Amino acid sequence: MKHLLIVLFSLFPVSAFAQDFIYDFEWLEPDNRVEVVVGEPHQLQYSCSNPSLAFTAAYSGSWVHYDFEPFQHVVDSPTGYSIDEHGVITGLIPGSYAIKFTGWILASNGANKWLYITVVSERKESESNNSFDTANEVYSKIRFGLYNITDVDYFRFEHDKLKSGDEVTFKIHYYGPRDNPFGYRWSMFTGTDMTGGGLLMQDQQCSTYAIAGKPVYFEVYYNQNYSQYFNYGEEFVAEVYINGIPAIDYGKENVFDVNGDGEVNIADINAVIDYILGRSSLDASKADVNHDGEVNIADINAIIDKILGS
């Protein structure tokens, strides 16, 4: 018997015996569909007997992932999205995808196993958003357009790492029949205090400085003195930057920013050199840019490659 148990445990890890079925799994996303924006996290809505375990490593084999390019096919791991152990999905590549559960995860009575996922490059505005109170929340990007000359669009931006003095910029990309939009105007607000505004042009950078604890608002409207030039089909994409860094990346650890000043430049190279020469108390984990366990010329070269974009 002892030898039999040894053989069994060598073939099947202890976790396999300890693992329980998850019963009564059901998607709570409307129509079993979800739209995810590239780079933006979304908490998947579902219910089951052990919701905190469903997306952990122990149950990873119970999920089957599908891509549509344009035909449905199984992939070993998701390519257009990622899902963490808490069931938070983040878009990676625009496209159509699907997942279904099997194995250790069982459906509730009559529930559909499939979840259909659409990953898009930017979020679209939702009307009505014509005041501070109804402003659309912006995480990183949003596509919008005015539906008539009296329409006004408001967008609200907040970030948990935003500090007083940080520069928040809405960079505008115009999609329409002209080289430049005509008749559109913009305003920026810190809280509800207007801080700037002007004509809205292609590649316009609309900026304001943040005050900790206050949202930033971006407003777009049309100059009604030029109503004859209004074109309903014109669209814009606003992309948010903080201190020149895409909002989607702001606050994330940058291994190349060795000295932690928010930029990657010659100062970071000098910081590694000072560490190598014993002239700095920099933590070794920061100086070891390429994470090979050593701090040497390879780390300096890694920063140079980052600066040069190679």
Please state the three-class secondary structure of the chain as a single string.
Answer: CHHHHHHHHHHCCHHHHHCCCEEEEEECCHHHEEEEEECCEEECCEECCCCCCCCCHHHHHHEEEEEECCCEEEECCCCCEEECCCCEEEECCCEEEEEEECCCEEECCCCCCEEEEEEECCEECCCCCCCCCCCEEECCEEEECCCCCCCCEEEEECCCCCCCCCEEEEEEEEECCCCCCCCEEEEEEECCEEEEEEECCCCCEEEEECCCCCCEEEEEEECHHHHHHCCCCCEEEEEEEECCEECCCCCCCCCCCCCCCCCCCHHHHHHHHHHHCCCCCCCHHHHCCCCCCCCCHHHHHHHHHHHHCC
Q: How many CB atoms lie within 10 A of CB 55?
A: 21
For the chain, the straight-line distance linking the first and the last C-alpha, in angstroms and rounded, comes to 61
Highest mean pLDDT among 19-23, 67-71, 143-147 belongs to 143-147
Structural Rg of the chain based on CA atoms: 25
Residue 246's pLDDT band (boundaries 50, 70, 90)? confident
Task: Read off the pLDDT of each residue in 213-221 and give the average, rounded to a whole number.
Answer: 96
Q: Residue 177's Cα: distance from chain center in Å?
A: 30
CA gap 89, 70 in Å, rounded: 22
CA gap 122, 245 in Å, rounded: 17
Q: Residue 276's Cα: distance from chain center in Å?
A: 36
5 vs 199 pLDDT, higher one: 199
The structural domains of the chain, with segments of one domain joined by +, span 2-120, 124-246, 266-308
Average pLDDT, the chain: 87
CA-angle at 190, arms to 184 and 161, nearest 5°? 120
Q: For 143-196, how does the pLDDT look when each residue is reduced to its tens digit (9 = 90+)? A: 999 999 999 999 999 998 889 999 999 999 999 998 899 999 999 999 999 999
Classified by CATH at the fold level, domain 2-120 comes out as: Immunoglobulin-like (2.60.40)
- The sign one gets for the Cα dihedral 33, 39, 42, 43 is positive
CA gap 196, 211 in Å, rounded: 15
CA gap 117, 99 in Å, rounded: 8
Task: Read off the pLDDT of each residue in 196-225 and give the average, rounded to a whole number.
Answer: 95
pLDDT at 249 over 80: no
Residue 39's pLDDT band (boundaries 50, 70, 90)? confident
| pTM for this prediction | 0.64
pLDDT at 18 over 70: no
CA gap 250, 305 in Å, rounded: 21
Percentage of the chain beyond pLDDT 70 is 91
Task: Read off the pLDDT of each residue in 38-65 and give the average, rounded to a whole number.
Answer: 91
Q: What is the dihedral of CA 303, 260, 217, 224, to 10 degrees?
A: -40
Tokens of 262: 């928010």
Task: Read off the pLDDT of each residue in 19-46 and give the average, rounded to a whole number.
Answer: 91
288 vs 87 pLDDT, higher one: 87
Q: Which position has the token pair 């983040």?
A: 90
Q: Which position has the token pair 């780079």?
A: 39
Highest mean pLDDT among 53-67, 69-83, 283-297 belongs to 53-67
**What class does CATH assign to 124-246?**
mainly beta
CA gap 175, 178 in Å, rounded: 8
Residue 12's pLDDT band (boundaries 50, 70, 90)? very low
Residue 253's pLDDT band (boundaries 50, 70, 90)? low
pLDDT at 261: 82
Q: For 271-310, how does the pLDDT look when each residue is reduced to its tens digit (9 = 90+)? A: 999 989 988 878 777 888 876 667 889 889 888 988 887 5
pLDDT at 157: 96
